[in-house]
Amino acid sequence: MKIVPFIITFNSMSTGPRLNQCVDFLMTNAPPSFGNAIEQIDIYPRCQTKDNIPDGLEFLMDRFQKGLTTLPYIRFRRKLRLFEISYESRWVHSSEFFKENGAEFSRSDFDAICKEFATSLTLVRRRIKKTDDFDVGSFEGHLLRRIDCLNEPICVQSFWNTNKAEF
């Protein structure tokens, strides 16, 4: 199963290696499969931004703010085996975060994003039916174990050493 994260702001959609590191951390030591019903989960955290709103784009921010009231949005496209989750994020986006030599990826950002992703992924339970081939309990249990791992410095350090990443 593949998990694909995309940060959405009032005027952009971004992804990158830092977000993928969070997904990789969450899926470390996952069983080969939780079932065949879901091939991919796309997660769309809707984030406020630290960036300035360019003149003339205020209407996009207004539309974005109004859209936040409709979240979370959850859709399971069974024939495509694609699950989509959109939610209001507490993490505040900065375009600097996505630049190669941009803002530092702090441990607190890493923890916050991992926790948000894990929480959003548990929304799968809302759309899975008993007839779907997907073990929601095992999936949620795995995510909880990975979040617990964030409290164990050796666990996180092991991940960073293995993935050649740094805070």
- The DSSP letter of residue 54 is P
Q: How confident is the model at residue 113, as a pLDDT?
A: 94
Output the tens digit of pLDDT for each of the chain's 167 residues: 999 999 999 988 988 888 999 999 999 999 999 999 999 999 999 998 888 888 999 999 999 999 999 999 999 999 999 999 999 999 877 666 666 655 667 888 889 999 999 999 999 999 999 999 999 999 999 999 999 999 998 988 888 888 766 55
Q: Where are the beta strands (DSSP E) in the chain?
A: 2-5, 7-8, 13-14, 40-46, 73-77, 82-88
pTM listed for this prediction: 0.89
Residues near 3 by beta carbon (within 8 Å), at least 6 away in sequence: 23, 26, 27, 40, 41, 42, 43, 117, 121
Which pairs count as long-range contacts for 158-167, CB under 8 Å and 24+ apart, including other chains? 159/24, 159/25, 159/28, 163/21, 163/24, 165/21, 167/104, 167/105, 167/106, 167/107, 167/110
Q: Provide the β-strand partners of residue 134.
A: none
Contact 15, 107 (CB under 8 A): no
Alpha carbon distance 59, 73 (integer Å):
22
